A and B are shown apart, each in its own frame.
Chain A
Amino acid sequence: MNLKNVKLWIWTIVFILIGGGIMFYGMSYDPLGWAQGLVSFTEPNNEPIPWGLLVIGYIFFGVIGTGVSTYNSLYELFNKNHKERNPFDKIKLRNEWLALAVLVPGLIMVFASAYKPAEALYIYLSFRDTSRIAWNGVLYVLVGIGIIAEILALIGEKIKEEGKIPSVLKLIVDIDALIVGYAIIAELILDANLGAVFGYLSTWVYEFGPFMPILFVVASFYSGIAMISFITPLYSWLRRPTSYTSGSGGVGPEEDKTIFKVLARDGLLATITIGFLILWWVWLTATNPETLPWAKLLINGSWSSTFWIGLVLIGIIIPIVLYSVAYKKESKGLLFASSIFVLLGWFVIVTLADVIPQAISWYYSVSPVSPPGSTWVYELRSDFNGVAQYTQLPFAVSSYDLVWFAGSTLFLLGVYTLGVLLLPLEEEERPKHLWIFK
């Protein structure tokens, strides 16, 4: 074991122990009690968990995770018979592991955002097909199976190249195109369904309908490409092999350039598409008298600074400029910088599109101001239960949120580095731990 791996083992253990420890603290050191909602730590005890960081966090990581896998798998599928054309051929296994690792904090935050996580079992025991959330539960399992199967297929492919392959893996390798295709379809459906979950709840008026599923599918590419663009240069800097002067892990410098260029090009296209969708979103809203009050909140109202700076500038304009220059100059530094802006932008999009509207009280405080001649009947929701309805589900970042967000994100780092250590993620690495398949 070389020194680099010893250091990585130490970091992995630190990430998992600290991340796990923080989450254990979040359970008030009582996992069983926490699972039943009987926890004495912060919010779960005396008020419902607010719409805050956990909901944002799970959408943020969930969509990134599926996006990484979908993007990677599409290149894999469409270059199945001519691998030399796949720019990600040498890092496809690493990308797939990244997708799985990124889904982990998303799933943790889903459970943490429910008051009684143990009861989530009823999603499967008494499945309700009208519930998009129940379908989400099923789709996450299907996507997880797809990604794991794809990882096994890619490992099997490596073993096959060396000759002797365990029969279990051989079967998986034989149907790998089917597995990759299945994973892509499951992920796209999951993203669309996740968009629908929030689009059909009491959100911004203009989110009802097909907009949110489309936004989420495009956002999975937008954020997934950004995550690969974030990790690949980072990997190249941190785990530069001694045999190369530069390169992304086991990838040579020339291949690196191709990868970075493709990522910059695709990232640029995805960002432009997101920009179009946001323009469409705001345009339709602003040009409809019924929904104009909602649009005003984004354009020049209380959420305008978040919208213009967080979404338009950081999430769209800066990445478009940086991606373009990164493409032209084949610069991994600029690609890395673009990815950071996109990830921040994605965080803001999730916040503006999903969480703020569901927790915000203006919806009801402005509702009696009906436009002249309107047939929109505003409802008296604001004062029910003695207090403003949404004080029950306030938008707040509680200490419970912070603990779970920090814990699960650190855990993600640990899971990812564990994969780096245990799986043959780099091109020159030989398959390890084959006893599992025997």
Chain B
Amino acid sequence: MSGNPYSAFGNSGSCKKWGFVVRVDQCLGCMACMAACAIENQTPFWEQLWRTHVEDLEVGTFPNTQRMFVPRLCMQCENPPCYYVCPTGATQIVDGGIVVVDEYKCMGCLYCVEACPFGARYFYTYDDIQKAKEYYGDNLIHVVPHVDKCTFCYGTAPDGTHTPACVRTCVGGARVFGCLDDPNSEVSVLVNTGQAVVLNPQLNTQPKVFYVFNKQSGRYSRGGVNS
């Protein structure tokens, strides 16, 4: 795959496995990604609910502490517990291995919210829809109550770029998006060289979101310590 790695996003068959890498040490904590995502996907920020969120953490023990920002989003697992528990078929896996929710099929049982080991899902309520009209006008993405989550901006990213809003807006270059099938893509290189690792590998959910941590953040790698 050549050229813009995102250009074919959403087109059937163009990429079997979209991936995402977060370079933690390049995240400035500006939270612009959260704002961009909220506008792009009309998330209920007034309830402090986000498709992507930046953790503001203090790592280590005083005086050897470090402030650290860890961007979080749906891991788009290849083996997604949320998909398996969904009783109505509302949670689906679409082109490129992206996990989405059909809001009309979702009955709001919230088992997927419970099943997700990464806490990436939240519920978009009837009140949120009413409130969304105040912020986003009548052209709403979310029409009925349902469980919502990050979809790598599937179906909402502007034509021609198809890049997730958080990636487009990231000032530190902490967020990298691309096709994992393409060995030359930046995400593939980071993953294949072992620089990028997944969270909670022992759960075997096979996330397609990877993290590159610096030395200070050893607690997040497998078998790491807490300081």
User: Residues on A close to B: CB < 8 A?
Assistant: 36-39, 44-49, 113-120, 122-123, 125-128, 130-134, 136-137, 197, 200-202, 358, 368-370, 374-377, 379-387, 389, 392-393
Contacts and interface: CB of A to CB of B under 8 A. Distances in A.
A48 B50 contact: no
Q: Which of A131, A133, A383, A384 has the most CB of B within 10 A?
A: A384
Given A380-B220, A384-B120, A392 B87 contact: no
B108 A116 contact: yes
A386 B122 CA distance: 11
A28 to B, nearest CB: 11
Nearest to B55: A383
Contacts of B49: 385-386, 392
A115 B70 contact: no
A367 to B, nearest CB: 10
Given A114-B109, A122-B107, A48 B123 contact: yes
B166 to A, nearest CB: 15
A131 B72 contact: no
Contacts of A383: 53, 55
B204 to A, nearest CB: 12
B137 interface: no
A48 B224 contact: no
Contact of A385 (B50, B105, B224): B50
Interface of B: 48-50, 53, 55, 57, 70, 72, 83-90, 104-111, 113-115, 117-120, 122-123, 125-127, 144-146, 199-202, 219-226
A177 to B, nearest CB: 33
Please classify the interface of chain B as helix (H, G, I), strand (E, B), loop, or mixed, using the class held by over half of its residues: loop
A379 B199 contact: yes
Interface centre among B83, B110, B118, B127 (most CB of A within 10 A): B110
B108 A380 contact: no
B89 A48 contact: no
A197 B81 CA distance: 12
Nearest to B202: A377
Nearest to B43: A385
Given A202-B117, A368-B226, A126 B123 contact: no
B223 A122 contact: no
A386 B38 CA distance: 13
- Closest 8 pairs between A and B when the two form their complex, measured CB to CB: A115-B108, A119-B107, A126-B89, A122-B88, A386-B48, A133-B87, A134-B87, A389-B119
Contact of B88 (A113, A126, A132, A389): A126
Contacts of A126: 88-89, 105
B122 A37 contact: no
Contacts of B202: 375-377
Contacts of B145: 37-38, 115-116
A36 B222 contact: no
Contacts of A117: 107
A71 to B, nearest CB: 28
B85 A48 contact: no
Contacts of B55: 380, 383-384
Contacts of B120: 384
Contacts of A38: 126, 145
A114 B108 contact: yes
B125 A39 contact: no
B85 A133 contact: yes
B182 to A, nearest CB: 29
A78 B34 CA distance: 64
A37 B85 CA distance: 21
Contacts of B119: 381-382, 384-385, 389
B84 A131 contact: yes
Contacts of B113: 48, 392-393
Contacts of A125: 89
A393 B110 contact: yes
A115 B55 CA distance: 29
B107 A116 contact: yes
Nearest to A117: B107
B82 to A, nearest CB: 10
A48 B48 contact: no
B99 to A, nearest CB: 13
16 contacts: A37-B125, A37-B126, A37-B144, A116-B106, A116-B146, A122-B107, A128-B87, A134-B88, A201-B85, A377-B199, A377-B201, A379-B199, A380-B57, A380-B72, A384-B72, A393-B113
B53 A385 contact: yes
A381 B85 CA distance: 19
A115 B123 contact: yes
A126 B102 CA distance: 12
A387 B55 CA distance: 10
Contacts of B87: 120, 122-123, 128, 131, 133-134, 136-137
Nearest to A389: B119
Nearest to A37: B145
Contact of A201 (B57, B114, B222): B114
A46 B114 contact: no
Contacts of A137: 87
A379 B118 contact: yes
Contacts of B224: 377
Given A115-B123, A201-B85, A381 B114 contact: no
Given A37-B108, A119-B105, A385-B50, A131 B125 contact: no
Given A385-B49, A385-B53, A120 B199 contact: no
Nearest to A35: B107
Given A386-B50, A392-B122, A380 B114 contact: no
Given A45-B126, A118-B107, A119-B105, 7 more contacts: A48-B108, A48-B110, A116-B106, A128-B88, A380-B57, A382-B119, A392-B123
